[in-house]
Chain A
Amino acid sequence: MARNLFEYHPVIGYRFIPGLRARVRHEGGGYLVQCNRAGLRCRHEVTLARPADTVRVVVVGDSYTAGDGVSNAFRYTDLLEQRLLSACGGSGVQVLNFGLPGSGTDQQLLALRELGAGLEYDILVLAPMVENIVRNLDSHRLATSAFSGELVERPKPYFTLEGKTLALHHVPVPKDAREPAAKSDAAAKPDAEPTEKDKGAAGLVRGILRRVTAKVDEKVPGFRAFTQRVRGVTHPQEYDDAQDPGWLLMRAILTEFVQDARVGAANARRKVILAPWPTFGHIEGGLDPKPYLARFGELAAATEIDLVDILPRFIDEPRQVRDRCRFVHDEHPTRLGHSLFADALFPHLRKQVEAVRGVHS
């Protein structure tokens, strides 16, 4: 059995095991997972105080940011740090990776609050994968049991939007794993609070398909990614309408990130960059990115944050190069995918880092 990577966390649901040193077998040849004492897959041991004369960048996201499929050193966060260091004379920049695999932006917000409480930093990069909007609607997540190796559903924390306020549920996160069932979450557990997704027929269909395809994918690698494309998960419909409940929830959570980042007079002008990861349906050219770009654009304007569209960097490449940006079966970015993402973000981030250095000096 493979080494466990995660431990229970009562608020976030789970986090990397602090101090973990592991290697994961993978179709790409395997990858090293090295974690710090805070339970982040991050090369830096995090101190609350910013190191002297250092611009500190915090990056949040899901497994695309945490780097499933590649070793720490080949993730876009680590590549960005290298490039920024080179641009800054070899010192004075620190990029902290707060990526949490399998998470929605809900858990990413909680992770930053819990694991980054009191943390001094200068720039916040929000790098949600556009599909995270769907995970925000879930009250449970599929996971592999560390004990039996079986696929189970574990509760996760989630928000609902009560008027304009986010209400947090499932905290402390219950531990009662359940068998994946071909039923909607609400139907499977009548006493659970129904989430937005649970309420609709679309949620029921998603629930069934997600569980069935996860099982089939064990035998036929790539099947899940294929069905996701077919059923439009990689183009979540929640972005199509600015008033869609799913988008309103996503928007509220991202807004909360910005508000948290700017608490206190000293942080009022803290830079926040929104750099969403497109799905590979978008990267490969089959899906239209306009809906999600429109929604994120509206959010950026309303909250005065920068939106960086990284998709053109991928589209610039010929199809055969773009095909090598993801693994054949696993839908995560390869080293090349991370490198292109870093390419796209670097010019903007460099400008912001230099601006902060200017203020510091």
Chain B
Amino acid sequence: MSRAHYVLGISAFYHDSAAALVRDGEIVAAAQEERFSRKKHDPRFPGHAINYCLEQAEIEAEDLSAVVFYDNPLLSLDRIVHTLSQSGDRGLAAWLTGAPGWMAVKLFVERLVQQELGVNVPLLFVEHHLSHAASAFYPSPFEEAAVLTLDGVGEWATTTLCKADSDQIQIIEEIEFPHSLGLLYSAFTQFCGFKVNSGEYKLMGLAPYGNPIYADRIRAEMIDVKPDGSFRLNLDYLGFLDGQTMTNDRFHEFIGGPPREPESRIGRREMDIAASIQKVTEDVVLLIAKHLRDETGSKNLCLAGGVALNCVANGKLLREKIFDRIWIQPAAGDAGGALGAALLGAHQYFGVPRPPVDPTRDRMNGSYLGPLYSNEEIRSFLDYYAYPYDTVSDDERARVVAKALSQDKVVGYMVGRMEFGPRSLGARSILGDARSETAQRTINLRVKFRESFRPFAPSVPAEASGKFFDLDAESPYMLLVAPVREEIRTDVSQAATDDMLEIVNQRRSTIPAVTHVDYSARVQTVDGVAKPDYKAVLDEYGKLTDTPVIVNTSFNVRGEPIVCTPQDAYKCFMRTDMELLVIENQILYRDRQPEFKDKENWQDEYGLD
């Protein structure tokens, strides 16, 4: 019998570094470094994540056939040097901070890998957008597909259109830096006072509050979009080429004022800006998708790259029915590049055949690819510190959680392997009662410590989703936004106010905690195969309430990476107003816990995102 091919993929040095391991093309493990290092979007070499991957597979470093880096540092350096030469003195400051990082670190990946693993393993480099494309296609339930990756930038490419079939992925068109839809969205994100590379999600959440009054002007002046979706940015408005910020004075004049200060009040202007850039983005994505469909003739679309996390655009893409089926890599950002790199190494370098495709199920294991902690490990921690808990069976756990939720309690839920990607999918989640009129405000302000305009996502059993949402596809990764069904909506008088709290608190449906101001919801459909424990909670909750829909938000506080270990979960539980904590088969009640003496100044430790 031939030796198994273990291939380790890594992404690092930009943002959100990660590692992923595949065995003969099957995904064994994947995790982001931030979950272990507790530094949000940690870009450093993913030593902890690599260690976890080998731990999960229980293999030695010398069992690896290769390590594959998700990016070609020489191509990236080429872009950096080229850009520097094009922008002359104006770009010097920007690239003095960026270029040394690439030259000093990226070119020494081999040494870092050798240091981490203690042995020499062949190191391969693949192209950034090909890594994204591979992460989207190989695990998908499609034998063949069109593949679209939309990102800020990777080496030179910002947008890549591919045709994939069996083991092969072929790039058919690319749009190159500096013309980037991702960077344009990030520019507006920064202008609105949110952080680049993490605040884009906030901007998307803000969009439904506004009107797209700037959209036509953006199209007229900032981005030239062709009928096939290809585009060019007007760099006169953008600062990322030759400055330290994404925008410049001309951009500010375009909007009619200076950027919003982070943490200051969000006003009508920011809402309208968000709505406008969201509209432009959706339009471009739809045009590119139509063109890609024409070029490839495929009925299936795979999506990856940071822009693929724009679930509002994804939902529109689905409803437009340009493609019959869409599959989106749940770790669509740079972290997912590690997985794509590993899969490329397996299929294209070592020639491992792609495992047989099941058209009904992808190969991501529900994205539950991170570490699991045994009951013994958990109890050893709880017992040592004498934290009171009950140990319950799986069935009893589902009943206890469902009952607590039905009583409008907030539950920290840590069961099973941690999710890979930015979304919590019921393994490291904070759960709440979707029927509650106060849950959104309570969880946002007393648990998450963040702005209250951000909507929560609902989890719903796959078979029941049609009762609550206009969604005719499964959405296991919370990457599709769908309208809440008309029949469960309630009329709301148009609020003549800019007070977002007042708008948020209006009851819009029978599941107000997950209904956004535009009656949309970022749905997670749950089935009993990938996540039986979570499905059991939903089913029990459905029995109690007739409404099997619960709030599912990430298990962290603002600025903190999602919890990974039992210790992380306990700390987060005790620092917030959650009433119940579930760690595997252990249930902890807040009112039974001893006083928590927090040595860490966590509000300073976790910078605002």
Contacts and interface: CB of A to CB of B under 8 A. Distances in A.
Given A7-B383, A17-B377, A32 B58 contact: yes
Contacts of B599: 148
A21 B372 CA distance: 10
A17 B116 CA distance: 25
Q: Which of A8, A20, A23, A71 has the most chain B CB within a 10 Å cutoff?
A: A23
Nearest to A34: B58
A19 B380 CA distance: 12
Q: Which of B51, B374, B386, B568 has the most chain A CB within a 10 Å cutoff?
A: B51
A8 B381 CA distance: 9
A29 B118 CA distance: 4
Q: Which of B376, B377, B567 has the most chain A CB within a 10 Å cutoff?
A: B377
Contacts of A21: 55, 58
Contact of A8 (B48, B373, B384, B564): B384
A28 interface: yes
Contacts of B119: 29
B600 interface: yes
B55 A23 contact: yes
Given A29-B117, A30-B61, A23 B52 contact: yes
Nearest to B386: A175
A147 B385 CA distance: 9
Interface residues of B, number: 32
Contacts of B51: 23-25, 30
A30 B384 contact: no
A239 to B, nearest CB: 34
B54 A30 contact: yes
Contacts of B52: 23
Contact of A17 (B47, B376, B386, B564): B376
A8 B47 contact: no
Contacts of B386: 175
A1 B60 contact: no
Nearest to B379: A7
A17 B380 contact: yes
Interface string B351-389: 000000000000000000001011011001101111000
B377 A4 contact: yes
A18 interface: yes
Given A7-B376, A19-B374, A30 B118 contact: yes
A184 B323 CA distance: 74
B36 interface: yes
Interface in B35-73: 36, 38, 47-48, 51-52, 54-55, 58, 60-61
Given A22-B55, A29-B118, A147-B567, A4 B381 contact: yes
Interface in B14-54: 36, 38, 47-48, 51-52, 54
Interface string B229-272: 00000000000000000000000000000000000000000000
Interface string B117-152: 111000000000000000000000000000000000
B438 interface: no
Contacts of A28: 118
A3 interface: yes
A22 B376 CA distance: 13
A175 to B, nearest CB: 7
B116 A32 contact: no
A146 interface: yes
B369 to A, nearest CB: 16
Nearest to B61: A29
Contacts of B565: 1, 3
A30 B376 CA distance: 23
Tell me if A's interface is mostly helix, strand, loop or mixed. Answer: loop
B38 A7 contact: no
Contact of B47 (A22, A25, A175): A25
B384 A175 contact: yes
Contacts of A22: 55
Q: Which of B36, B55, B117 has the most chain A CB within a 10 Å cutoff?
A: B55
Given A23-B55, A30-B51, A30-B61, A146 B376 contact: no
Contacts of B36: 1
A185 B47 CA distance: 37
A312 B42 CA distance: 49
A180 to B, nearest CB: 15
Nearest to B600: A148
Contact of A1 (B385, B567, B600): B567
A10 to B, nearest CB: 11
A20 B377 contact: yes
Contacts of B48: 2, 25
A102 B77 CA distance: 48
Nearest to A30: B51
B21 to A, nearest CB: 12
A148 to B, nearest CB: 6
A14 to B, nearest CB: 9
Contacts of A175: 384, 386
Contacts of B567: 1, 146-147
Interface string B559-585: 000001101100000000000000000
Given A29-B118, A146-B567, A23 B54 contact: yes
Nearest to A15: B380
A32 B380 contact: no
B117 A8 contact: no
A146 B384 contact: yes
B573 to A, nearest CB: 13
Nearest to A21: B58
B58 A30 contact: no
Given A7-B383, A30-B117, A20 B60 contact: no
Nearest to A27: B118
Nearest to A147: B567
Contacts of B568: 1
Contacts of A8: 380, 383-384
Nearest to B373: A3
A283 B448 CA distance: 56
Contacts of A1: 36, 38, 564-565, 567-568
A111 B384 CA distance: 19
Nearest to B568: A1
Nearest to A25: B51
Contacts of A20: 374, 376-377
Contacts of A29: 61, 116-119
A155 to B, nearest CB: 13
A7 B384 contact: yes
A132 to B, nearest CB: 25
A25 B45 CA distance: 14
A23 to B, nearest CB: 3
A148 B381 CA distance: 12
A6 B376 CA distance: 10
Contacts of A17: 374, 376-377, 380
A162 B251 CA distance: 84
Interface string A55-77: 00000000000000001000000
A176 to B, nearest CB: 11
Nearest to A177: B384
B65 to A, nearest CB: 16
B540 to A, nearest CB: 29
A148 B564 CA distance: 15
A18 B58 contact: no
A28 B373 CA distance: 25
Interface in A21-64: 21-30, 32, 34
Nearest to B119: A29
17 contacts: A1-B36, A1-B38, A1-B568, A2-B48, A7-B376, A17-B380, A19-B376, A20-B377, A23-B55, A29-B119, A30-B54, A32-B55, A32-B58, A34-B58, A148-B599, A175-B384, A175-B386
Interface of A: 1-4, 6-8, 17-30, 32, 34, 71, 146-148, 175
Shortest Cβ-Cβ A-B pairs, 10 listed: A29-B118, A7-B380, A23-B55, A25-B51, A29-B117, A8-B384, A28-B118, A29-B61, A17-B380, A17-B376
Given A20-B377, A32-B60, 5 more contacts: A1-B564, A1-B567, A7-B376, A21-B55, A25-B47
